[in-house]
Amino acid sequence: MIISKELFFDIQNRMDFIPYEQAKGWHDYTIEKYKCQVLYFVDDIVGPKICAWGLITVKLKLFRYVSIVGESRINTLTYKDYQKFYACLIEDLKNKYGLIFVTSNTVYEVDFELGIRLAGFLRPLNFFDSPLSIIIDFSNERPRKRIWKRQVREAGENQLLFKEIKNISFEDIMIFTDMYRELSRRKNLSGYLSREGLEKLFQDKRFKLFFVYKDNSVLAGRIVYVDRSESYDVYAANSDASRNIKGTTYFMMESIFTWLKQNGVKRFDFGRIPVGLRPANSVFEFKSHSGGEVVNYNGSWVYSRNKILEFVLAFYREFKGMRY
């Protein structure tokens, strides 16, 4: 059922699992960046098990759809719980929106697929988002690859300094976004970071900012989401200068892993990774050197009231190159 923003976040605080895409900080960052409308859902107000917020999106001035990334939930769910929640979504939205997109960036569960299929969702047409990630389980950590160890050792010889930024200023945000812009230019990436949005993001203390320095100059930064025993890679930024200092990114990640373990975190999720015959494979190769396990997410799903609309959006995404 659709509920108010205030009630939603009150209910969400009772959940055992909150992915970063559903966190209050990400919610506020998204609204600031895209100036979009948001809807809030829960399966049951009295005894809630699942809740999620989603964006109302308008494409090509032709149709509106709702997209939801992730869901907050209690630890133990059956396929009937998922079915109830997603069937309610369809009932609430089907008469007003042509499409409902759901993306679940959590490790694949049979119960999730059973539930969302029984609710009426299917795999989308021509959606190209990779369902793969790499997760490090700190309670059963596998050894790093030799190249990782060598890069960390060489970074140590360069006397790099790792630091958590506890009182994040707008200047820190500017440094991070400037490095992100440099990285995007080097790698020909699309997208941008909203400085004002990041200000709102960091008001949620679960989002952490880390920097690596060389002689008081910031070489690289990382935004990591930490919620109890779980953590997620959110944004990475490397300056042009970092390319001249061997092992900077490896040193950054190894230092973050140490910080996470010292703070009681059990798992680190690198997030959705592009894999295929493309230059972006270097991202997968770097992350795979961590010794983490490649996992499959629940992935993308769609409810379509009108298949023509789904074909139009699929063509639009193909034309814009929105796939990885």
pLDDT, tens only, 14-57: 999 999 999 999 999 999 999 989 999 999 999 999 999 999 98
Domain residue extents for the chain:
2-131+297-320, 143-291
Report CA-CA distances (Å) from 225 to 188, 256, 282: 25, 11, 23
* Rounded distance between C-alpha atoms, residue 92 and residue 39, angstroms: 11
* Rounded distance between C-alpha atoms, residue 266 and residue 101, angstroms: 30
Contact assessment for residue 56 and residue 66, using Cβ atoms and an 8 Å cutoff: yes
Contact assessment for residue 2 and residue 42, using Cβ atoms and an 8 Å cutoff: no
Residue 316, pLDDT score? 62
Contact assessment for residue 245 and residue 214, using Cβ atoms and an 8 Å cutoff: yes
Q: Give the DSSP letter of residue 101.
A: E
Please tell me whether residue 3 adopts helix, strand or coil conformation.
Answer: strand
Task: Report, as an integer, the average pLDDT of 228-253.
Answer: 95
Fold exhibited by the domain 143-291: Aminopeptidase (3.40.630)
pLDDT tens-digit readout, 74-92: 999 999 999 999 999 999 9
Whether residue 324 is predicted with pLDDT greater than 50 in this model: the reply is: no
* Rounded distance between C-alpha atoms, residue 99 and residue 289, angstroms: 39
Give the contacts of 120 (CB within 8 A, at least 6 positions apart): 86, 87, 90, 303
pLDDT tens-digit readout, 101-154: 999 999 999 999 999 999 999 998 766 678 899 999 999 999 999 999 999 999
Task: Report, as an integer, the average pLDDT of 245-258.
Answer: 96
Residue 129, pLDDT score? 75
Whether residue 278 is predicted with pLDDT greater than 90 in this model: the reply is: no
Whether residue 99 is predicted with pLDDT greater than 60 in this model: the reply is: yes
CATH for 2-131+297-320 is 3.40.630.30
Task: Report, as an integer, the average pLDDT of 187-200.
Answer: 88
- Nearest Cα to 183, choosing from 220, 211, 158, 209? 220
Mean of pLDDT over the chain = 91
Structure tokens that stand for 203 in this block: 């008001």
Contact assessment for residue 28 and residue 46, using Cβ atoms and an 8 Å cutoff: no
191 or 213, which is more confident?
213
Give, for 213, the enclosing helix (H) or strand (E). strand 207-214
Handedness of CA 186, 191, 194, 200 (dihedral sign): negative
* Rounded distance between C-alpha atoms, residue 324 and residue 322, angstroms: 7
Token pair 């950054």 in the structure block, residue: 252
Residue 60, pLDDT score? 60
127 or 208, which is more confident?
208
Q: Fold match between 2-131+297-320 and 143-291?
A: yes
pLDDT tens-digit readout, 209-228: 999 999 999 999 999 999 99
